[in-house]
Structure 1
Amino acid sequence: MPVPVLDFDPFDEAVLADPYAHHDRLRDAGPVVYFLARGCFGMARYGDVAAALKDWQTFGSGRGVGLTDFALEEPWRPPSLLLEADPPLHDRTRGLMNKVASLSSLRAVMPEWRETARTLVSRLVGAGPFDAVPALAQSFPLAVFPRLIGLAPGGEEHLLTYAATAFNAFGPRNRLLEQSLAQAAEATAWVSEACRRENLLPHGWGMQVHEAADRGDCTADEADRLVRSFLTAGLDTTVNGIANVVHALALHPDQWQRLRAEPALGKRAFEESLRWNGVVQTFFRTTTRPVQVGGHELPEGAKVLLFYAAANRDPRQWNRGDMFDITRSTSGHLGFGFGIHQCLGQMVARFEAEAALGALIETVGELRLTGPVERPLNNTLHPIGRLPIELVAA
């Protein structure tokens, strides 16, 4: 069967500003569609997106997980050895990074993270309206994450600019990417220097990667690039993840009160926020061979845009998927991806969110929105740039 052709640009700024308004149309059009405006295919149904993410042999990442095809064009920076690599290279580098980013190391720092979150939240409760993005969603990760990696103090704000540019670069070379690249020169240079062995502090995850190079698990150049992967994967997922869950709970006061009554639901609340309003909206894959999807044939070398966020609300998979419900079982959601390329920073995001939510549950009786939420446009993310809120003491 011919693939449905849509006169629809997934990177139109109006679409990026309100992606959820278009997801029904994309899902209902078929298991796979073709976007004439971008010369690429797309999938938005849960079953098809999850199957493509699992089948890395057919839907490869080595030619880039953005619109740019690395077989035809040069990327703006050296490709990631994790996100933009397939086995056997990916197996080697991911195995190394999984040993460094271990659960035991995160559990070891969790008491410190909880105390940092409590101190931060205590200053905000009862202090009147404030913007929760810089004051909480950015401030808390920037207080704990660079130390975990072993970055030397100073200049951490460059991480936000660098990450935003990295995610914009997965889309077309549009106005958003051009603006990001113009603003990112200093941040990119800072990140490159910060990841070098001589600039890292001992005992952090970054130094552990370089010590793996000493053992022959990777080269010195690969070590620099792998440390950089931590900085891309481990910050925006947490900043936007914390902002999104706070926003979701403020929009649904009944859910906030349920969480206060049952703090054990904290982990479910964060997972539901990732399903309901995920940080990452889309990623690309490239077909390595001709493949059929729902009776439609895709050629080899085709770019396929996978709509994670649309899949996460697909009524074929989720009962009343547009509803935010912290008691829901979210097993299988695609907020951190799926398969071998799922987000490296997901456990960092989960542990940081647990610490932040725990501090809020302990002291906050009401999350009160005090103004409109602002979302800066990004080719890949649906971030929150401004979240005016007031934390009313319990």
Structure 2
Amino acid sequence: MLLDDATFVSGAGVGLNPITNRFSRGTTLNSDGAEHAERRNLVAHRLTPRALRAMHDDVSEQAERVVLDALERRRIDGVEELAMALPMSIVPNLIGWPEEGRDQLLAWGAATFDALGPLNGQAIRAARPSLQMLRYARTVAKRRTLREGSLGADLLKAVDEGRLDASGCPKLLVDYLAPSIDTTLSAIASALYLFAVHPEQWQALRADRALLSNAINEVVRLESPLRAFSRQVARDTTVAGADLPAGSRVLVMFASANRDELVWDAPDSFDITRDATQQLGFGHGTHGCAGQGLARLEIRSILGHLLDRVDRIELTGEPVWAVNNIIHRLEHLPLELIPTR
């Protein structure tokens, strides 16, 4: 389905309710074909491998500070003091978001995903903060308070040059801001959790750092940051013997695919030696996560500095999982970091 975006379309919305799908028009998430490519190309140059290489030292330095601060305390909340700290700094800076309003980004981003769910209590409660994020983005774009040299400044330039309608700029700001924070935060926190629960895997990674890319894929496979999105069926088709008529909707469950026993051996096991490159935790195909390269850089940087300094990661209490229609992530993760001698 993810590779056949002519049959399973996103332009009619990827949410599970018509209200959010209507408000999401004009985003890369909610577009197809040339429109999708045009919107994605407006920011693609900021997320190329070459652009990310230029960011490497800055990301690594910030990750090192985050890890050193956490090690100084030893007993920490792995979400608030490790997983959240790096993406909440890197991503807003990349987009050029003003300092004012950054304290609301996590709540607004979570609400934006929650609002994509079915019309349950979560989605209804999320409506107001989700709209607040969009309204604030409109204010930022209108006042042109985005930092010079940022992705956001590029979007304003595209508006000035007639390549982007002014109304599209705020939506694209939200389009890249919310997912880039939430999915990375989710993956870092899940990595900490999994390595705490499976200490032998942490020791295996310490013994062989060449497994780091494998480990990141395995974390994203087992604890997929995104549960699912919807697609509309554009023409009559059949999937696995099921007839799907044009106009119907399907639920594309990334988390389920990542534990599919037809694809994975022992799918519920955490094994960093597994080749998990097929994982779909960042999506796939045309609508694959544009910022996954940056997410991987951030995850790799945090884990790399932890590997340099931490012998064991231990749980000190019960983890708390956040409740959200789409995002799968920890809300609290009590940990103790045991430093190397």
TM-score (norm 2): 0.94
Following superposition, the deviation at residue 116 of structure 1 comes to 1.2
Structure 2 gap segments, 5+ residues each: none
Matched with 1:212 is 158
Summarize deviations over 1:224-246 as a string: whole Å, max 9, x none: 32222111221101111111111
Following superposition, the deviation at residue 55 of structure 1 comes to 0.7
Q: Does 1:303 align with 2:249?
A: yes
Q: Distance in 1 between matches of 2:224 and 2:142?
A: 32
Q: Distance in 2 between matches of 1:188 and 1:81?
A: 12
- SS of 2:332's partner is coil
Aligned length: 340
Q: Distance in 2 between matches of 1:383 and 1:65?
A: 20
Taking the TM superposition and a 5 Å limit, the aligned residue runs for 1:60-139 are: 60-69=9-18, 73=19, 75=21, 77-125=23-71, 127-139=73-85
Distance 1:224 1:185, change over 3 A: closer
Matched with 1:151 is 97
Matched with 1:21 is none
Which one is further off, 173-182 or 53-62?
Answer: 173-182
Q: 1:191 aligns with which of 116, 137, 148?
A: 137
Q: Is the 8 A contact 2:237 2:245 kept in 1?
A: yes
Following superposition, the deviation at residue 105 of structure 1 comes to 2.2
Summarize deviations over 1:19-61 as a string: whole Å, max 9, x none: xxxxxxxxxxxxxxxxxxxxxxxxxxxxxxxxx1111111111
Q: Is the 8 A contact 1:64 1:84 kept in 2?
A: yes
Following superposition, the deviation at residue 268 of structure 1 comes to 1.7
Distance 1:192 1:247, change over 3 A: farther
Following superposition, the deviation at residue 82 of structure 1 comes to 0.7
Q: 2:117 aligns with which of 147, 152, 171?
A: 171
Q: Does 1:290 align with 2:253?
A: no
Q: Does 1:57 align with 2:6?
A: yes
Q: Is the 8 A contact 2:20 2:115 kept in 1?
A: no
Summarize deviations over 1:341-387 as a string: whole Å, max 9, x none: 11122112111111111111111110011011101211112210000
Q: Distance in 2 between matches of 1:265 and 1:211?
A: 41
Q: Distance in 2 between matches of 1:95 and 1:231?
A: 16
Q: What amino acid sits opposite 2:201 in the alignment?
A: Q
Q: Is the 8 A contact 2:221 2:281 kept in 1?
A: yes
Taking the TM superposition and a 5 Å limit, the aligned residue runs for 1:1-394 are: 52-69=1-18, 73=19, 75=21, 77-125=23-71, 127-184=73-130, 186-196=132-142, 198-394=144-340
Q: What amino acid sits opposite 2:14 in the alignment?
A: V
Q: Distance in 2 between matches of 1:74 and 1:318?
A: 34
Which one is further off, 173-182 or 383-392?
Answer: 173-182
Following superposition, the deviation at residue 123 of structure 1 comes to 1.8
Q: Is the 8 A contact 1:243 1:384 kept in 2?
A: yes
Q: Distance in 2 between matches of 1:380 and 1:93?
A: 23
Q: Is the 8 A contact 1:161 1:187 kept in 2?
A: no
Following superposition, the deviation at residue 120 of structure 1 comes to 1.5
Q: What amino acid sits opposite 2:6 in the alignment?
A: Q
- SS of 1:54's partner is coil
- SS of 1:344's partner is coil
Q: Distance in 2 between matches of 1:329 and 1:220?
A: 44
Following superposition, the deviation at residue 97 of structure 1 comes to 2.3
Q: Is the 8 A contact 1:117 1:359 kept in 2?
A: yes
Q: Distance in 2 between matches of 1:221 and 1:182?
A: 20
Q: Distance in 2 between matches of 1:277 and 1:130?
A: 21
Distance 1:118 1:328, change over 3 A: same
RMSD: 1.8
- SS of 2:42's partner is helix
Q: Distance in 2 between matches of 1:304 and 1:151?
A: 35
Following superposition, the deviation at residue 221 of structure 1 comes to 2.5
Q: Distance in 2 between matches of 1:301 and 1:346?
A: 31
Which one is further off, 121-130 or 334-343?
Answer: 121-130
TM-score (norm 1): 0.82
Distance 1:379 1:343, change over 3 A: same
Structure 1 gap segments, 5+ residues each: 1-51
Q: Is the 8 A contact 2:152 2:173 kept in 1?
A: yes
Following superposition, the deviation at residue 74 of structure 1 comes to 6.3
Q: What amino acid sits opposite 1:66 in the alignment?
A: G
Q: Distance in 2 between matches of 1:194 and 1:391?
A: 39
Q: Is the 8 A contact 1:126 1:390 kept in 2?
A: no
Q: Distance in 2 between matches of 1:98 and 1:125?
A: 36
Matched with 1:22 is none
- SS of 2:336's partner is strand
Q: Distance in 2 between matches of 1:74 and 1:309?
A: 22
Summarize deviations over 1:312-337 as a string: whole Å, max 9, x none: 11111111111111111112211111
Q: Distance in 2 between matches of 1:260 and 1:191?
A: 42
Following superposition, the deviation at residue 182 of structure 1 comes to 4.2
Percent identity over the alignment?
Answer: 34
Q: What amino acid sits opposite 2:248 in the alignment?
A: A
Which one is further off, 247-256 or 223-232?
Answer: 223-232
- SS of 1:297's partner is strand
